[in-house]
Amino acid sequence: MYQKRGDPAGGSLQGWRQRLYTIIFESDTRAGRWFDQGLIVAILLSVAVVVADSVPALHQHWSGLFTSAEWAFTLLFTLEYLLRLACVPHPWRYATSFFGIVDLLALLPTYLALLLPEAHVLIDVRVLRLLRVFRVFKLTAYMTEYRGLALALHASRRKITVFISGVLMVVLVLGTLMYVIEGPTNGFTTIPTSVYWAITTMTTVGFGDITPKTDLGRFISSVMMLLGWGTLAVPTGIVTSEMAAQRQATQGLAAVPVTTRTCPECLSEGHLPEARFCMHCGAPLPPWAHDV
């Protein structure tokens, strides 16, 4: 059981910024949960607008609505961005953190469009706004699962690097080989194109926009496919054995409740409910504000 010192002490420490901080950066209180959920809805809606705007049929009818909605969301996110800066002890440190940069990039495109209205370039950058969605995980109980997957992938990163580099070499060799055998007449116009084809084949995607025509080419690609088939097994084997090992390792360990407490100094998350100091930078943590 945790000794409750959250709510009483919480208010005493630098008043509204403290409360705002808890609402915007954490989500263990009702207000915080509401804020985050609202934010997610807003993000999804703004993405939906971008997507819908790309459909000609919808564009010509509702382009006006889309543009205004676009602006509404941009202003909303701008306000949120400023609030974040306002309630963080070290605004600059937040502005230069990963999510700080993402938040900024998510705003720029709309404003940029005022100076240079190339829709083309605009939409391109707009996509970054989607990265906001990753924040969703901050408030799900799925966080631990997410960590599990990330851990397994991280643990097997070296095996996978070796594997990928090997695949790249094979693909480059085979791609060039096919370029020589089939040649531009059969669609293998350049070595890059052939390598693209080789990757398409090895990964069993097989678009079919480029296909071997000569018998030799077909024989070699048959070997490639069987090769690719076998190789498909390797990453699976890596990740699977990694996960099995993890499962054993974590067996018997007690699961700890995940909080969304955020260190005001280094903005790191996932501190234990009873933690008094940040486990990464050692800075004192504000008391844990949560609903009883």
Is the separation of the CB atoms in 242 and 156 below 8 Å? yes
In this complex, which beta carbon is closest to a copy of itself, that of residue 10 or of residue 206? 206
Contact mark string toward a copy of itself, 50..69, x via CB under 8 A: xx--xxx-------------
Q: Of the ranges 72-80, 91-99, 164-172, 272-280, which one interacts with a copy of itself (CB under 8 A)?
A: 164-172
189, 214, 272, 285: which one contacts a copy of itself (CB under 8 A)? 189
Q: In this chain, which of 154, 165, 249, 279 binds a copy of itself, going by CB under 8 A?
A: 165
Residue 280's contacts (CB-CB under 8 Å, 6 or more residues apart) are: 263, 266, 268
Residue 228 neighbours by CB distance under 10 Å = 23
- The pattern of x and - marking residues 118 through 157 that bind a copy of itself according to CB under 8 A reads --x--xx-xx--xx-xx-xx---xx--xx-xx--xx----
Q: Which of 172, 167, 179 is nearest to 212 (CA)?
A: 179
Nearer to a copy of itself, 91 or 148 (CB): 148
What span, in angstroms and rounded, lies between the C-alpha atoms of 238 and 233?
9
Exactly one of 76, 160, 266, 285 binds a copy of itself (CB under 8 A); which one?
160
In the complex, the smallest distance separating the C-beta of residue 175 from a copy of itself, rounded to whole angstroms, is 9
Minimum CB–partner distance for residue 198 and a copy of itself (Å)? 9
**Is 163 an interacting residue with respect to a copy of itself (CB under 8 A)?**
yes
Binding to a copy of itself (CB under 8 A): which residues in 86-115? none
3-state SS assignment for residue 277:
strand
Q: Which two tokens stand for residue 165?
A: 């580099």
Is residue 41 involved in binding a copy of itself (CB under 8 A)?
no
Is the CB of 213 or the CB of 280 nearer to a copy of itself? Answer: 213
What is the total count of residues that contact a copy of itself (CB under 8 A)?
A: 84
Place of tokens 């990963």: 98
Q: CA–CA separation, 236 vs 238, rounded Å?
A: 5
- Tokens representing 159 are 């095996």
63, 68, 96, 190: residue in contact with a copy of itself (rule CB under 8 A) = 190
Among 131, 88, 91, 90, smallest CA distance to 107 is for: 131
Residue 268 burial (CB count, 10 A): 15
DSSP state for residue 276 in the 8-state scheme: -
Q: Which is nearer to a copy of itself, 54 or 63 (CB)?
A: 54
- DSSP track, 26-54: --SSHHHHHHHHHHHHHHHHHHHHHHHHT
Q: Which of residues 197-256 bind a copy of itself (CB under 8 A)?
A: 199-201, 203-209, 211, 215, 218-219, 221-222, 225-226, 228-230, 232-245, 247
